A = this chain, B = another copy of it.
Amino acid sequence: MEKKTLLTECPDDMGLIAKITNICHKHQLNIINNKEYVDNTHDQFFMRTELEGYFNDTTFLADLDHALPQGSKRRLISSDRKKVVIMVTKEAHCLGDILVKAFDGSLDIEIAAVVGNYNTLQGLTEKFDIPFHHVCHEGLSREEHEQKLLEAVQQYQPNYVVLAKYMRILTPNFVAQFPNKIINIHHSFLPAFIGAKPYQQAFERGVKIIGATAHFVTNDLDEGPIITQNVIPVDHSFSAAEMAKSGRDVEKSVLSKALGLVVDDRVFVHGNRTVIL
Contacts and interface: CB of A to CB of B under 8 A. Distances in A.
Nearest to A121: B104
Interface stretch (A1-9, A64-72, A175-183, A204-212): A204-212
A50 to B, nearest CB: 11
B33 A38 contact: yes
A24 B18 contact: yes
Given A106-B248, A236-B273, A208 B228 contact: yes
Contact of A92 (B35, B103, B204): B103
A274 interface: yes
Given A193-B191, A239-B40, A17 B14 contact: no
Interface in A128-184: 128
A225 B276 CA distance: 28
Contacts of A36: 34
B192 A209 contact: no
A177 B249 CA distance: 32
Interface centre among A40, A100, A228 (most CB of B within 10 A): A100
Contact of A229 (B17, B207, B257, B273): B207
Given A93-B104, A209-B231, A236-B276, A18 B22 contact: yes
Interface in A214-251: 225-231, 235-237, 239, 245, 248-249
A18 B15 contact: no
A11 interface: no
Given A106-B93, A106-B248, A253-B249, A37 B237 contact: yes
Contact of A127 (B35, B127, B228): B127
Contacts of A34: 17, 36
A40 B240 CA distance: 12
Contacts of A93: 100-101, 104, 106
A31 interface: yes
Contacts of A15: 21, 25
Given A209-B189, A209-B229, A124 B96 contact: no
Interface in A33-48: 33-41
Ranked 6 nearest A-B pairs via Cβ: A206-B273, A96-B100, A92-B104, A18-B21, A127-B127, A192-B192
Given A41-B239, A92-B104, A236-B273, 16 more contacts: A14-B31, A17-B17, A18-B24, A18-B25, A37-B237, A92-B103, A106-B245, A189-B207, A191-B192, A204-B272, A206-B272, A206-B274, A236-B275, A236-B276, A249-B253, A249-B256
